[in-house]
Structure 1
Amino acid sequence: MIFPKNAIDKLGFIEIKDLIKDKCLSESGREMVEKIQPQVKLEQIDRFLRQTQEFKDLLVNDAPLPVDHLYPIKPLAEKARVEGSFLAEEEFHRILLSLRTVYAIIRYFNERDGQYVHLELLFEHLPIETKIIRQIEVVIDDRGKMKDNASRLLLDLTQQILKSEQEARKRIDQVFKQAQHNGWTADGNLTIRDGRLCMPILAENKRKLKGFIHDESATGQTAYIEPEEVFHLNNKVRDLAFERRREVIRILTELTTELRPHVPLLLAYHGLLSKLDFVRAKALFAIDIEAEMPELSKEAAINLINARHPLLLINARKESHPPVVPLNIKIDQEDRVILVSGPNAGGKSVCMKTVGLLQLMVQSGLLIPAEDTSKVGVFQQIFADIGDDQSIESDLSTYSAHLSKMKHFTEFANARTLVLIDEFGTGTDPLFGGPIAEAVLEALNKKEVRGVITTHYSNLKVFASNTAGLENASMLFDNVEMRPLYVLQVGKPGSSYAFEIAQKIGLNKEILHAAKDKIGVRQKKVDTLLVDLERDKKVIYDTKAAIAMRERELEKLKSEYEDLQGYLEENKKQIIREAKEEARQILKNANKLIENTVAEIKSVQADKEKTREIRRRLHAEVDRHSEKKPVDKQVNNAQPDESIKVGDWVKILDADTEAQVIEVSKGNNLILALGELRTVVKKNKVVKLQGKEKAKVIKKHKTIATESAADFQPELDVRGMRTEDALRQLETVLDRAVMIGYPTLKILHGRGDGILRKFIRDYLRKYNHVSHFEDEHADRGGDGITYAHIQ
């Protein structure tokens, strides 16, 4: 599929695999990464891509997957398969930890049944065989050592060894104290020699103590003696230790025998852990390069939108280079081959390699750094001619090596072949290299191959302009500032800017003039025309970009206007309904009032004083429901107070409330704190508080802050939360901590894959009031906990 074989390396795919290997937790996962190869079956590619996309979604949005222990189970299972063999204690411990991880993973996905459909295919029909764990846990403890009560005999032997050791220790202590009392001992305490506990005795006294001499000091002045009465006790301990070891081996052999029927299941568990580690590494790499899953197509076509070269993207971040310029390119039935021209160091080769590398990544099941609206087809073959493949052994020159590849391309390429050629036609006399390259391009075009080809040859640019299926493209160049823009423009060929670049680097003007005189007038006109086209094309591109931005702004304003209009219409209807209801109620009450008034006047038989009082009450009731004449508020045309600074207390004129200044922004804007809320107000809308009024406000807010601080908890636990929920809670708690002046905030996010910790720390870096943050002490949680210090 790939020709030549080293094309994968030249496109940078080997480096991609190395970066993914670094994300693996297990050796078996790294072995799977090493075996990554481009596939040609659409269903298989789609499944690999969707598994990676689902794992990426899991890492970013879901609780961490429990992958703490990914030990290789396969070699242990193969060892247990052999009759009569047994696994050591630490080997059973590794199996135990791995099985716990497997079962935790299966339960994790069972709890999310249907959420990660393609990942669930990795462990479909795998049972949770808890019997294996129970059998191991009966024998092996959490430190990887055999339990003393694994059998009755083992417990008895262990107790005998402990008792004998205590007896031997007690006896040697007694002998040592007596020897010290007699003045026989040298400086120092009891010590181990040949695995036995010995006493340091002066050489001249060694005959005075019965025992076994195990060693002497370098000077010969000290002998290390095991006393006779202790010697027999230590031998007893050693005999018991041998018996205990035999019992341990018996238990391990028996446990291995019980494990042997489950070897096929253990191998299946090993496969699951390896695959999960493999897919997890691909997903973590996808997060690093901001990769997405493109739309797959059965057609041999490519439509990359805002694509970036992954290796350039990573290097740009590491070395703080300018951001990578995205690439937009389309290869389809109409424009099958894109012929890219333009200045040296303008990005032609990077453009071609980006297309080739991203195509390899997609067909290998890797997400790519491009918009998810990009469309990528499947190619049966990828042919590449990149760099110098001259060979002394094969007696091939540079140009001969190129021609050998062209021979292979023209013989074996077809409509489902992606051809990538860098600096097409170079390596020989341009007078002959150009026509040969044109003939090869014509032959490839007849086979309807797809591809990207870079060149400087004018005859190829002219041929592409007049031939269906071929399309010229150029890398833009700013001929004012004399720098490449690394933007691909399809439709017109580009100039090499040879004279302009030579002039910029300071080549002698006389040499330049002589060179211009030596090239043909026609060629000079063509090159000048290309430069002019390039300039006009850049102007049109910039204009289109500005128009597109303006259109987006207008669309946004239109949307906001429509939302506001809808809101006003809705509220207008509500206000009218409420007003009608209120008017109906007022009329009802008015009718009732008039009826009561008439009845009262009749009842008092037109008594003037009483009638006057009744009328007064009637007018008072009418006045109560009458609209008061609004008092015109004085328009505040006051000049903004430039003396206002952070920390001052001000009064908001429109709201008649007090607030504290926490930031002075550009454009005469103030950011104010209203309790735990923030608002933005113009300087001319506030009045600075001073003197007694300021002291009164501060006293009131201190009381509120004290009460708030009493309820405040300076610790936030976001473990297991989705990223958005965690950041939302963090923002709320941080704002409150700043309002009440709390100095530190403890954030528990856990370790996991480090995704949640990364997002939280990125947010803290952008939060103005956080001076710095640090890990908790290693003994109390380490990098699973972050302390944020608030200024």
Structure 2
Amino acid sequence: MIYPQNAIEKLGFSEIRDLIKEKCLSESGRQMVDKIQPQIKPDQIERFLRQTNEFKELLLHDSPVPVDHMYPIKPLAEKVRVEGSFLAEDELYRMLLSLRTVYAIIRYFNEREGQYEHLELLFEHLPIEKGILRSIEQVLDDHGRLKDNASRLLLELTQQILKSEQEARKRLDTVFKQAQAKGWTADGGLTIRDGRLSIPILAENKRKLKGLIHDESATGQTVYIEPEEVFQLNNKVRDLSFERRREIIRILTSLTNDLRPHVPLLMSYHSLMTKLDFVRAKALFAIDLQATMPVLSKDASINLIEARHPILHLNALKNNGHAVVPLNIKIDDTDRIILVSGPNAGGKSVCMKTVGLLQIMVQSGLLIPADDTSSVGIFKQIFADIGDDQSIESDLSTYSAHLSKMKHFTSFANGRTLIIIDEFGTGTDPLFGGPIAEAVLEQLNKKQVRGVVTTHYSNLKVFASHTEGLENASMLFDNQAMKPMYVLQIGKPGSSYAFEIAQKIGLSKEILASAKSKIGVQQKKVDTLLVDLERDKKVIIDTKYAVAKREKELIELKANYELLQSSIEENKKEIIRKAKDEARTILKDANKLIENTISEIKSSQADKEKTKVLRSGLNKALDNHNSALKKPEKPNVTVSTDNANLEVGDWVSINDSGSEGEILEITKNNSLIIALGELRTVVKKNRVSKLKSKDKSKAIKRQTNVSTGSIADFHPEVDVRGMRTEDALHKLELVLDRAVMIGYPSLKIIHGKGDGILRKFIRDYLRKYNHVSRFEDEHADRGGDGITYAYIG
């Protein structure tokens, strides 16, 4: 599928595998990473991608997976399989820890059944065989040592050994003290020689103590004797120890025999741990890479959005450097082969390698650093020609090696082949290399292959411009700052900027002039045209970004306005409802008061004095109710003549100019920072008046209309030739202000050369204008210092 085999290394996929291996916990997981290869079955690729994506989401948003102990089970299971073999204590302990981990993992996913459906496929309905754990736990303690009560015989032997050792030690201590009292011993206490406790005796006294001599000191002055009366007891301890060891082997053999029927299940547990470790490592790598899962397409197509080269992106994140410029590229039935041109060190090779590497990653089940709306198809073959593959042994020059690959490409490529070719046609005389490359490209295009090709050859750019299926593209270059922008622009070829780069490096004018005279007039015109096109592209892109930014701000303003309008309507309804409820309550209370008064008059039998008092009380109560009904509702916003009440967010009108804006900040010296659209101004508090709610809404609407003025009718060019200085600066100020208001990135000022006086005044004015970041001369071929470009930012 991959041709040649070293294309994996050339594209950087081996480095990707090494980074994933660093995330693995087990050796078997690392071995599985080494086996990663691009696949061609869509179902298999999608399953691998979804498993990695699910594990990534799990790591980011769920509790940790219990992976404390990932010891390999497979070698232990293979040892168990052999009749008559047995697992040692440490081996059984590793198996115990691994099985506990496996069972914890199975329980973890059982508790989340249906939540990670593709990860659950790894388990293949594996059961939790607790009998295996119980068998091992009956024999081993929590530290991995064999329990003394693993069998009745083992317990008896252990107790006998302990008793015999105590008796022997007691007898030895008695003999040692007697020898010490007689002055036979050397300095020091009891010691062990040949695994036996011995007494250090001076050499001249060795015949005085009966026993077995095990050793002597280097000087020969001290010998180490095991006393005769202790010798038999130590032999007994040794015999019991041998018997205990035989019992331990019997217990371990019996336990191993019990495990033998479970070998297939143990192998499945090992496979589960390996796969889980493998997918976990891929997910951790995806998190480091800020990678996502693209849409998998059935077509042989690629649509990468905001894609970044994985290695460069990781290095940028690690070193906190400049972010990698994202790549946007589309390869489909219409534009099958993208021919990328542009200056050296401009990013052509990185663009090409990014496409090839991300394609291999996706088909290998790895997430990629690109927007999740990107779509990637499946290719059955990936052919790459990168770098120098000359070989002395094979008698291949650089160009011969390229031609050998082209022979393979043209012979075996088809519509499901992705080709990656760097510096197409180089390595020989351009007069012949160019036509051969064009013929190869024509043949590959007939075979409907897809791919990315980089070149400097002009004939290939011309060929791509009028050939269906081929599309020119270029890496943008800032020909003013003389530095690459690393942005891929589809649709137009790019200049190599050979003369511009040579001039920046400092090559003499005589050499450059001589070189220019040696190239054809037509070629010079083409290259100049390409330079102009790239400059226009840059302006268009800057304008596009500015328009997009302004559009986003307008959408946010509209949303805020609609939210405010909705809130006002809701408040209005609530106020009316409360007023009606209050009026009903007042009327109800008034009616009740009248009824009570009438009732009391009747009960007093219409007594004049009593009736007079009751009527007076009724009239007073009704007057209170009427005044409550007539009490005006406080408006939401009031006009304040007291500027001490001004707050951030209030809208005000500047008294002397009538300009309206929003208060952004109130400084310590009681000055106001006011936003007038995109502009900011500082005004004293006593020079403004707070707007009413109605006036505020009108001001917001007016300012929105101003700030959203049509960019289409704005002409970013001002011609002040022949004007007086004062008139020229006034006209420039108007155009500059509008450019700032609508967010336009640059302005072209035509002032002519003359004596340079007008140019001097204009540039002095630009230096003082806060929103102008820099300015520069036009290119010498298009007006030079008679035109000034001002950049706004």
Q: Which bin holds the TM-score, normalised by the shorter protein?
A: 0.7 to 0.9
Match of 1:239 in 2: 239
Greater relative contact order: 1 or 2 (C-alpha under 8 angstroms, separation 6 or more)? 1
Q: Is 1:520–2:520 an aligned residue pair?
A: yes
Q: Answer whether contact 1:338 1:452 (CA < 8 A) is retained.
A: yes
**Partner residue in 1 for 2:27:** 27
Deviation at 1:104, TM superposition (A): 1.0
1:7 aligns with 2:18: no
Whole-angstrom CA distance in 1 between matches of 2:543 and 2:628: 64
The aligned amino acid for 2:529 is L
Supply the distance in 1 between the matched residues of 2:185 and 2:482 (Cα, whole angstroms): 89
- Answering whether residue 634 of structure 2 is matched by residue 637 of structure 1, we say no
Q: What is the distance in 2 between the residues matched to 1:247 and 1:669?
A: 89
TM-superposition CA deviations, 1:651-708 (whole Å, max 9, x none): xxxxxxxxxxxxxxx95589xxxxxxxxxxxxx99xxxxxxxxxxxxxxxxxxxxxxx
Cα displacement (A) at 1:430? 0.6
- Contact (CA 8 Å) 1:597, 1:618: kept in 2 or not? no
The answer on whether the counterparts of 1:211 and 1:228 sit within 8 Å (CA) in structure 2 is: yes
User: Does the 8 Å contact 2:474/2:490 carry over to 1?
Assistant: yes
**CA 1:463/1:162 → structure 2, altered by over 3 Å: closer, same or farther?**
same
Q: Could you report, residue by residue, the CA deviation over 1:114-151 in whole angstroms, capped at 9, with x for unpaired residues?
A: 00101111112211111111111111122111111110
Deviation at 1:166, TM superposition (A): 1.9
Q: Which residue of 2 aligns with 1:397?
A: 397
Give the Å deviation of 1:556. 2.1
Q: Which residue of 2 aligns with 1:588?
A: 588
Distance 2:580 2:450 in 1: 72
1:559 and 2:565 are equivalent in the alignment:
no
Instruction: Confirm or deny that 1:627 pairs with 2:610.
Output: no
Paired amino acid for 2:548: A
User: Map of 1:439-588 to 2, 5 A cutoff?
Assistant: 439-588=439-588
The residue number in structure 2 matching 1:657 is none
Query: Does the Cα contact within 8 Å between 1:184 and 1:202 map onto a contact in 2?
Result: yes
TM-score, with structure 2 as normaliser:
0.78
Structure 1 position 449, deviation (Å): 0.5
Query: For 1:310-361, what per-residue CA distance to the aligned partner results, in whole angstroms no more than 9, with x for missing partners?
Result: 1111222333331111111100000000001111111100100000000000
Q: 1:374 to 1:509 in 2, by over 3 A?
A: same
Q: In the TM superposition, what is the alpha-carbon distance from 1:625 to its structure 2 partner? A: 6.0
Matched residue, 1:116: 116
Which ranges in structure 1 are unaligned for 5 or more consecutive residues?
642-665, 671-683, 686-791
Q: CA deviation at 1:615?
A: 3.5
Distance 1:560 1:165, change over 3 A: farther
The answer as to whether partners of 1:494 and 1:531 remain within 8 angstroms in 2 is yes
Structure 1 residues 196-219: Cα deviation after superposition (integer angstroms, max 9, x where no partner): 222333333333333322222323
CA distance in 1, matches of 2:316, 2:219: 65
CA contact (8 A) 1:24 1:277 kept: yes
Contact 2:590 2:622 in 1 (8 A): no
Q: CA deviation at 1:9?
A: 0.7
Contact 1:601 1:611 in 2 (8 A): no
Aligned partners of 1:71 and 1:95 also within 8 Å: yes
Classify 1:577/1:620 alpha carbon distance in 2 versus 1 (closer, same or farther; 3 Å): closer
- Tell me: CA distance 1:206–1:348, structure 2 relative to 1, closer, same or farther (3 Å): same
Return the letter of the residue paired with 2:623: H
2:309 paired residue number: 309
Query: 1:719 aligns to what?
Result: none
Letter paired with 2:157: L
1:144 partner amino acid: G
Counterpart of 1:733 in structure 2 is none
Structure 2 residue 157 is the aligned partner of structure 1 residue 161 = no
Secondary structure, aligned partner of 2:372: coil
Give the Cα–Cα distance (whole angstroms) in 1 for the partners of residues 189 and 253 of structure 2: 41
Q: Is the 8 A contact 1:212 1:227 kept in 2?
A: yes
Superposed, 1:14-93 pairs within 5 Å as 14-93=14-93
Q: Secondary structure at the match of 1:530?
A: helix
Contact 2:586 2:625 in 1 (8 A): no
CA distance in 2, matches of 1:326, 1:211: 87
Given that 2:383 and 2:417 are in contact with CA atoms closer than 8 Å, whether structure 1 keeps it comes out as yes
Out of 317-326 and 145-154, give the one that drifted further: 317-326
Q: Is the 8 A contact 2:424 2:437 kept in 1?
A: yes
The separation in 1 between residues aligned to 2:140 and 2:369, in whole angstroms, is 47
Q: Secondary structure at the match of 1:440?
A: helix
Letter in 2 for 1:593: L
How far, CA to CA, are the matches of 2:666 and 2:202 in structure 1? 91
Amino acid at match of 2:56: K
Look up the match of 2:387.
387
Name the CA distance, whole Å, in 1 between partners of 2:121 and 2:342: 48
Q: Which structure 2 residues correspond to residues 224-235 of structure 1 after superposition, within 5 A?
A: 224-235=224-235
Instruction: Tell me the distance in 2 between the aligned counterparts of 1:570 and 1:668.
Output: 31
Residues 343 and 497 of structure 2 are in contact (CA less than 8 Å); yes or no, is this contact kept in structure 1? Answer: yes
Q: 1:652 matched to which residue of 2?
A: none
User: For structure 1, which segment, 464-473 or 175-184, has the greater mean C-alpha deviation from structure 2 after superposition?
Assistant: 175-184
Question: CA 1:518 to 1:141, structure 2 compared with 1: closer, same or farther past 3 Å?
Answer: same
1:610 and 1:21 map into 2 onto residues whose CA distance is: 98
Question: Residues 142-184 of structure 1, C-alpha deviation per residue, up to 9 Å, x if partnerless?
Answer: 2111111110000001111111222222222333333333333
Is contact 2:340–2:475 with CA below 8 Å preserved after alignment?
yes
CA distance in structure 2 between the aligned counterparts of 1:198 and 1:571, rounded to whole angstroms: 100
SS of 1:514's equivalent in the other structure is helix
The RMSD of aligned alpha carbons is 2.3
Q: CA deviation at 1:633?
A: 9.6
Moved more, 28-37 or 602-611: 602-611
Structure 2 SS opposite 1:335 = coil
**Match runs of 1:150-549 below 5 Å:** 150-549=150-549
Q: Could you say which structure has the larger radius of gyration? A: 2
Does structure 2 retain, via aligned residues, the 8 Å contact 1:601–1:614? no
Deviation (angstroms), 1:629? 9.2
Tell me the matched-pair count: 648
Task: Please give the TM-score of this superposition, normalised by the length of structure 1.
Answer: 0.79
Distance in 1, Cα, partners of 2:162 & 2:641? 94
SS of aligned partner of 2:25 = coil
CA distance in 1, matches of 2:201, 2:187: 9
**Structure 1 residues 640 and 614: alpha-carbon distance in aligned structure 2, compared to 1, 3 A threshold:** closer
Instruction: Measure, in 1, the Cα distance between the counterparts of 2:353 and 2:643.
Output: 63
Shift, 1:78, TM fit: 1.0
CA separation in 2, counterparts of 1:586 and 1:668?
Answer: 45
CA shift at 1:457, angstroms? Answer: 0.7
State the Cα distance separating 1:277 from its structure 2 match: 0.7
Query: Secondary structure of 2:494's partner?
Result: coil
